[in-house]
């Protein structure tokens, strides 16, 4: 189950506030309780001093204050009647004694004439007064449930824009994603929303490219298939073997073009889907495999096909995608290089990057066309030979999946074309 950030914050904040409130209340209670007891000790001291001042000569037979309702009892000695539990010589200061009705807190004050004033108070009464005084400090604890409720309500209100944002995203059409508005988004999640909008923009561009690709692919497939259908119908009307042989050659070329186009479409779809897992690929071994496969074709066309290896290296790539990149570059070079020309596959290191180049001596292309030829199904006007305009597009898509880049430039002295694939080692 996914974790709710709102509930998590409410529990954490509510728990922290409750815990801190309890700690503060207990500390305040203990401090108030102690101060109440100290205040009562001060009160006993003040009563003893004042009483001694108002009774300067203690010669009466009984000078004790004996009010049974009084919480504080005052005795004078000598000359006054002192309780039996207070017998004995008590030093000046505070004492806790066991009385007839419980423990008693006693303060003894001695005057300069040797007379003593004794003030006593029941410890039970003192504790009751101190407890009642300290208990009032716990009243704010009654507000803790209200405070927790307010926290939950505030968090719910603050997270409401996120819920509205979710609703706006859910209401979007799946085939036409659009950026969501940022006017009601908290600043803390604004970068996240902006990242989502950028992602939606890229998804929209990708879907637009896919729609355009499907339309172009349908058009490209329709033409050769229609031509094949017509050629097959024409074969039915031919009686001469020689004429049938002449008609079969265009049919074979059409079938080959449809096959190549289908393979390239499948290769492009596979590359876009990212179906291959990355692994370490020995580029030198891959280069030799491809040259061995294409050597008969180059020999038949009278083209010198070779390998120039300036550094052996391996790359972490999807093997099939790297094979697509290099094979498409070699296929284009062999296709447009005339007889007597050369095609060279060069492997090199450039700083921290691996460099794979296919250099041919063909007609090359104009600098203004170097970017345009990477568009799917684009072919330069006047280009001879069978092709669909997908090879370079597939190479660029596969390179992007591997984290590399492909570029085209004119060869040395403006002769031919150089296809370059660069990727960090």
Architecture of the 276-424 domain:
2-Layer Sandwich (3.30)
Question: How is 35-99 classified by DSSP, letter by letter?
Answer: HHHHHHHHHHHHHHHHHHHH-----SS------TT-SEEEEEETTS---GGG-S-PPSEEEEEEE
Asked whether residue 385 carries a pLDDT value surpassing 60, the answer given is no
33, two tokens: 């309780």
Task: Please state the separation of Cα 287 from the chain's center in Å.
Answer: 40
Confidence band of 292 (pLDDT split at 50, 70, 90): very high
pLDDT at 345: 92
Taking every pair of Cα atoms in the chain, the longest distance, rounded to a whole number of angstroms, is: 163
Residue in this structure with the two tokens 């990149």, named with its chain if needed: 325
Q: What is the pLDDT of residue 357?
A: 92
- pTM for this one? 0.48
Angle, CA 333 vertex, CA 282 and CA 317 arms, to 5°? 25
Q: What percent of the chain has pLDDT over 90?
A: 7
Residue 4, judged by CB atoms within 10 A of its CB (0-12, 13-18, 19+), counts as exposed
Could you give the CA distance from residue 311 to residue 35 in angstroms, rounded to a whole number? 87
Residue 27 token pair: 């500390």
Q: Are 25 and 141 in contact (CB under 8 A)?
A: yes
d(Cα 223, Cα 219) in Å, to the nearest integer?
7
Two structure tokens written together for 224: 């050769």
Q: In the chain, which segments carry CATH 1.10.287? A: 172-273
Q: Is the pLDDT of residue 120 over 60?
A: yes
Give the pLDDT band (50/70/90) at residue 411.
Answer: confident
Helix (H) or strand (E) holding 405: strand 405-410
pLDDT at 110 over 60: yes
Query: What is the distance between the alpha carbons of residues 158 and 213, in angstroms, rounded to a whole number?
Result: 44
- The string over 158-175, giving b where at least 16 C-beta atoms fall within 10 Å of a residue's C-beta and e elsewhere, is ebeebeebeeeeeeeeee
- Which of 118-132, 149-163, 330-344, 402-416 is modeled with the greatest confidence? 330-344
Q: Does domain 172-273 have CATH number 1.10.287?
A: yes
- Tens of pLDDT, residue by residue over 179-209, are 877 777 777 777 888 888 888 888 887 777 6
Lowest mean pLDDT among 48-52, 323-327, 353-357, 382-386: 382-386
Of 194, 201, 227, 213, the residue nearest 267 (C-alpha):
213
Per-residue confidence at 358, pLDDT binned at 50, 70, 90? very high
Sheet with 304-309, side-by-side order of all strands: 304-309, 342-350, 353-360, 417-424, 405-410
| Least confident segment among 160-169, 294-303, 319-328 | 160-169
Domain(s) labelled CATH 3.30.565.10 in the chain stretch across 276-424
Range from 67-81, 150-164, 199-213, 306-320 carrying the lowest mean pLDDT = 67-81
Q: Are 264 and 390 in contact (CB under 8 A)?
A: yes
Mean pLDDT, the chain, rounded, equals 77
Report which DSSP code applies to 389: S
Measured in degrees and rounded to the nearest 5, phi and psi for residue 409 equal -155, 165
Residue 274, pLDDT > 70, answer: no
* Cβ-contact 271, 401 below 8 angstroms: yes
Q: Output the pLDDT for position 410.
A: 85
* Residue-level pLDDT at 123: 81
How does pLDDT run across 48-103, given as a tens digit for each residue?
Answer: 888 777 655 544 434 444 445 447 778 777 766 777 777 667 788 888 888 767 78
> 358 pairs with which residues across the strands?
345, 419
Classify 410 as helix, strand or coil.
strand
Q: Is the pLDDT of residue 273 over 70?
A: no
At 204, list the tokens: 């929209």
pLDDT digits (tens, 9 = 90+) for 2-56: 566 667 777 778 788 888 888 888 888 888 888 888 888 888 888 888 877 765 5
| pLDDT at 151 > cutoff 60 | yes
DSSP state, residue 376? T
Q: Give the residue carrying structure tokens 């009647």.
A: 81
The pLDDT of residue 376:
64
**Helix (H) or strand (E) segment spanning residue 282:** strand 279-282
What are the tens digits of pLDDT across the range 221-261? 676 677 777 777 777 777 677 777 777 777 777 777 777 77
Beta strands (DSSP E) in 310-352 are 314-317, 342-350
What confidence score (pLDDT) does residue 4 get?
67
Token couple for 25: 């209340």
Kindly state the DSSP code that residue 388 receives in the 8-state scheme.
-
Q: What mean pLDDT do residues 330-357 have? A: 88
């Amino acid at each position: 189950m996914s974790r709710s950030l709102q509930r998590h914050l409410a529990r954490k904040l509510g728990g922290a506030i409750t815990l801190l409130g309890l700690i503060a209340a207990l500390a305040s209670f203990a401090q108030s309780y102690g101060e109440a007891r100290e205040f009562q000790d001060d009160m006993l001291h003040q009563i003893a001093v004042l009483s001694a001042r108002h009774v300067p000569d203690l010669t009466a037979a009984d000078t004790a204050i004996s009010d049974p309702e009084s919480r504080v009892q005052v005795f004078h000695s000598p000359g006054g009647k002192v309780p039996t539990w207070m017998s004995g010589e008590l030093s000046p200061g505070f004492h806790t004694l066991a009385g007839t009705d419980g423990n008693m807190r006693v303060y003894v004050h001695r005057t300069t004439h040797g007379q003593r004033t004794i003030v006593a108070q029941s410890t039970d009464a003192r504790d009751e007064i101190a407890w009642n005084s300290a208990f009032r400090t716990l009243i704010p604890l009654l507000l803790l449930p209200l405070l927790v409720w307010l926290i939950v309500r505030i968090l719910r209100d603050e997270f409401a824009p996120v819920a509205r944002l979710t609703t706006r995203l859910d209401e979007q059409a799946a085939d036409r994603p659009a950026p969501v508005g940022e006017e009601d988004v908290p600043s803390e999640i604004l970068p996240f929303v902006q990242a989502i909008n950028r992602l939606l923009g890229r998804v929209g561009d990708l879907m637009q490219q896919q729609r355009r690709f499907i339309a172009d692919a349908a058009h490209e497939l329709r033409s050769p298939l229609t031509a094949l259908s017509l050629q097959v119908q024409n074969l039915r009307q031919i009686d001469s073997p020689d004429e049938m042989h002449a008609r079969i050659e265009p049919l074979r070329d059409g079938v080959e073009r449809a096959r190549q186009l289908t393979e390239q479409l499948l290769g492009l779809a596979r590359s876009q889907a990212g179906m291959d897992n990355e692994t370490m690929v020995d580029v030198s071994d891959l280069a030799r495999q491809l040259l061995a496969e294409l050597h008969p074709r180059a020999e038949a066309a009278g083209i010198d096909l070779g390998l120039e290896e300036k550094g052996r290296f391996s790359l972490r790539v999807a093997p099939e995608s790297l094979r697509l990149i290099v094979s498409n570059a070699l296929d284009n070079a062999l296709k447009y290089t005339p007889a007597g020309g050369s095609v060279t596959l060069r492997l090199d290191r450039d700083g921290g990057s691996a460099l794979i180049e296919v250099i041919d001596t063909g007609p090359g292309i104009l600098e203004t066309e170097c970017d345009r030829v990477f568009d799917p199904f684009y072919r330069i006007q006047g280009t001879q030979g069978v092709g669909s305009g997908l090879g370079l597009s597939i190479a660029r898509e596969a390179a992007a999946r591997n984290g590399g880049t492909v570029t085209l430039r004119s060869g040395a002295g403006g002769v031919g074309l150089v296809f370059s694939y660069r990727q960090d080692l």
